[in-house]
Amino acid sequence: MEQANPTRMELIRKSAQIKLAEQGRDLLREKMDALIQEFFRIMQNVSRSRDELDAMADVAQQSLLIALATDDPVTVKSASFATKRGLSLDITGKNIMGVPVPVIEKKRISKSVFERGYSIISVSGRIDEAAEKFEGELDLVIGLAETETALKRIGGEIQMTRRRVNALEQVLIPQLKSQAKYIKNTIDEREREDLFRLKKVKKIIDRKKKAPGDVAAAPPVTPSSIVSG
Q: How many domains does the chain have?
A: 1
In a domain, 188, yes or no: no
For residue 153, the model assigns a pLDDT of 93
The single-letter code of the amino acid at 132 is E
What average pLDDT does the chain have? Answer: 80
**What's the burial of 204, exposed, middle or buried (CB within 10 Å: 0-12/13-18/19+)?**
exposed
pTM of the model: 0.67
In a domain, 64, yes or no: yes
For residue 140, the model assigns a pLDDT of 86
In this prediction, the residues of the chain whose per-residue pLDDT falls under 70 are 1-4, 78-87, 106-122, 211-229
In a domain, 200, yes or no: no
In a domain, 7, yes or no: no
In a domain, 117, yes or no: yes
In a domain, 61, yes or no: yes
Q: What are phi and psi of 120, to 5 degrees?
A: -70, -15
Taking only the tens place, the pLDDT of each residue in 18-54 is 999 999 999 999 999 999 999 999 999 898 889 988 9
The domain that holds 99 is classified in CATH as 1.10.287.3240
For residue 122, the model assigns a pLDDT of 63
Domain that holds residue 54: 25-177
